[in-house]
Amino acid sequence: MEWIQQLVNGVSLGSIYALIALGYTMVYGIIKLINFAHGDVFMLGAFIGFYAIVRWDMHFILALLLAMLLCAIIGVVIERVAYKRLRNSTRIAALITAIGISLLIEYTVIFFRGASPEAYPNVVPNKTFEIFGAQIGVQSILILGISVVLMILLQFIVHKTKIGKAMRAVSHDADAARLMGINVDNTISATFAIGSALAGAAGVIFGIYYTRIEPLMGVLPGLKAFVAAVLGGIGIIPGAMVGGLVLGVVETIVSALGYSLWRDAAAFVILILILILRPAGIFGKNTREKV
Amino acid sequence: MKKSKVFWGYIVLALVIYAVVQLLINSGTVNFYYENMLITICINIMLAVSLHLVIGITGQFSIGHAGFMAIGAYLSAIGTMKLEMPFITAILLGAVVAALAGLLVGIPSLRLKGDYLAIATLGFAEIIRIVFLNIDYVGGAAGLQIMRQSSWGYAFFAVVITILVIANFTKSRHGRACIAIREDEIAADAMGINTTYYKVVAFVIGSFFAGVAGAVYAHNFYIIQPTTFGFLKSFDILILVVLGGLGSLSGSVLAAIFLTVVTTYLQGFPETRMIIYSLVLIIVMLYRPTGLLGTKEITDVFKFGKKGGSKL
């Protein structure tokens, strides 16, 4: 059953995209900024996890948590240092700053450790299960498990906690939220922290699954995760999950059909089609422009 | 009367610059290394000025400029290496196909606004790159070998034509329509400006000159590879425009000259270069979001105190 196996591979890849896309979509939903540096936070998460496992002999769950924690801090620092001052400036200025931060992170990492790739250690036994005749690795199941747990946790935070309520309020109308006594600055920082933590987790998972990490690895998954966010409807959390999974499955199908060199183009073709046909995304509502 | 005087003044200035540099090259004072640097400066000026028309004048945030440069580079290379065209025809071929690609990309994506447009142009540029990567006729990932045909003369006159066309376009009725779109698209629409039309026109002209730049580039470096035209190249061009000032042609030119020289001297330290670039980008955006010159032109400096603030 070749196609079940491909489907599982696609869903594993898709859940990584989904985790990154969640950060994009949350940040976009709350301050209308495409956080280009998000893919690089993902890369930093992968490297933190790598050093935690290899240098400090941590268990990989601990390494995952450490990567999430440090990425959350990095995300908040980026927001406080760069994006906070730009909240009232033009969109182009904010976007260019985000690109600048992204380049700065990438090349600072290259500056300190070189551009050479690293190989992730094997932390999960390389066993495979046979389900309906398909070979399914323990790694895929682990990735899926971690992603699902994180997404449920995120849903819980957004819908059941006070900070989640504040986040929803700020993304709906920041000024009204401020009048209601919500600390908008802290809420935005919390959004960055949660989104970056998810990206960090995605980085560690990516390292375990693909074993090869390098300083520029965040660029393409970052862009594709953004495509996933747009596909699902940017600013909508379930949209990012669905978008990520769809994108992962489509990419795997394209590879499986023998067009693996065209794989990267598939994401952008999807992006352009969705932008032209349904710019609000699968789950989005159309909004009219007002003066 | 006055307008044409200024115009001919600039033409004469351009010819003098050309003649002086050509003389220096011929006499050997400017060696191959510096001639190469001068050609690179010209290429970057063309890229910066053509992107300036799209971002600075029309206000459409495109970050896929390297894609059109790639089309110009590859098509002109096919022209000279495979079809044995003369270099000039090959440049025109590359530029026209780049302009057509600009039209094809522009019509659907310019309906989008702001961030979405940025991502769509980035996506198109990546698709263009991946297409070249997958065509064996142009060498795939290994790239295409090209004879060096670019010279200071070609590069310089391409720059002069680029600046001339874009400066005159900006000052024309069409250019003012584009500026109106930059300032407020809804208001421009309400004033009866066909916003989609002007956005596409600016985009096509920008793509055309990016194609010219790509053609000159391809025939200067012996080999072109798809990796050269990734989004990092697009960001490089973006930095030139942003640093010079969003909406300032002379700013783009100055930034292109300055950053090319800096890049040449930092060639041995590419990481340091990128760290400096990104810091400059962030600091400029935080403290001077309009870029160094804003929408002013360097020529404005010489017009202080003149009666009635004469306009070019």
Question: How far is the first Cα of chain B from the last one, in angstroms, to the nearest whole number?
Answer: 11
Segment 263-282 of chain A within 8 Å of chain B by CB: 264-265, 267-269, 271-272, 275-276, 279
Of A85, A111, A276, the CB nearest to B275: A111
Instruction: Kindly tell me the burial class for residue A69, based on how many C-beta atoms sit within 10 Å of its own C-beta (0-12, 13-18, 19 or more).
Output: middle
Question: Is A96's CB within 8 Å of B285's CB?
Answer: yes
Question: Is A265's CB within 8 Å of B275's CB?
Answer: no
Phi then psi for B306, rounded to 5 degrees? -75, 150
Residues lower than pLDDT 50 in chain A: none
Question: Is B109's CB within 8 Å of A275's CB?
Answer: yes
ipTM of the complex: 0.79
In three-state form (DSSP H/G/I as H, E/B as E, the rest C), the secondary structure along B196-244 is HHHHHHHHHHHHHHHHHHHHHHHCCCCEECHHHHCHHHHHHHHHHHHHH
Question: Is A103's CB within 8 Å of B134's CB?
Answer: no
Which one, of A71, A15, A77, lies nearest residue A195 by Cα? A71
* Ranges of H-type helices in chain A: 2-31, 38-54, 60-78, 91-113, 138-160, 162-172, 174-179, 184-210, 219-232, 237-256, 263-277
Contact of B266 with B254, CB cutoff 8 Å: no
Residues lower than pLDDT 50 in chain B: 305-312
Contact of A29 with A157, CB cutoff 8 Å: no
Q: Kindly report the nearest CA distance between residue A267 and chain B, in angstroms.
A: 8
Question: Is B278's CB within 8 Å of A93's CB?
Answer: no
Give the DSSP letter of residue A125: -
- Cross-strand pairs, B223: B145
Strands (E), chain B: 144-145, 223-224
Rg of chain A (C-alpha set): 19
Predicted structure pTM score: 0.85
**Residues with Cβ within 8 Å of residue B147, at least 6 apart in sequence:** B80, B81, B219, B222
Contact of A232 with A238, CB cutoff 8 Å: yes
- How is chain B split into domains, by residue range? 12-230
Angle between helices B32-52 and B249-265 (to 10 degrees): 140
* A·B CB contacts under 8 A: 118
Q: Map residue A135 onto helix, strand or coil.
A: strand
Q: Is B123 on the interface with A (CB under 8 A)?
A: yes
Tell me, what's the pLDDT at A85?
Answer: 83
Which one, of A45, A90, A85, lies nearest residue A198 by Cα? A45
Helix (H) / strand (E) element for A137: namely strand A134-137
Whats the size of chain B, residue-wise? 312
Tell me, what's the pLDDT at B222?
Answer: 82
Of B61, B134, B278, the CB nearest to A92: B61
Q: Kindly report the nearest CA distance between residue A78 and chain B, in angstroms.
A: 12
